[in-house]
Amino acid sequence: MNSNIITSETELFKKNLCKSYILECKINGINLNIKKYRKLLIFVYSELKYELQSIEFIDVIIKNSLLVIYQKELKSNGYQYYDSLGLSIRCADSKKTLREILNILKQKKENIELKLQLANGEIVYFVMLSRFNYIMI
């Protein structure tokens, strides 16, 4: 398999992330056994909710999200409701979901390390540091 090192978010999002998945993920050095972007997004949102009061959490997410989110239960027209968050989130492709994950982690000033498997077999390594510097492993 071909291995590729990306040096920036811009370069990462030039890749075709359709049908890609997460091989490895660390947030702030902690290994997470999460292989799907949507599950990682819900994990990041859940961590934020745990850190903030419920009202503040909703306010922060709705004001800063790159995705379409409502604070009411919607289960049609591409929305999925997450009872634990009290939010309905419109379905998004891999690229938009990953962009939202990085958006929230940047706001929280957290680090993320990703090893991704693209549909064409290419392996992509990406690291985002909380100092907003991007380096690759």
- pLDDT per residue as tens digits for the range 3-62: 556 768 999 999 999 999 999 999 999 999 999 999 999 999 999 988 887 778 888 888
pTM over 0.85: yes
pLDDT of residue 2: 47
At residue 56, φ and ψ (nearest 5 deg) are: -65, -40
Q: What is the mean pLDDT of residues 70-75?
A: 92
The amino acid at residue 60 is: V
Count the residues in the chain: 137
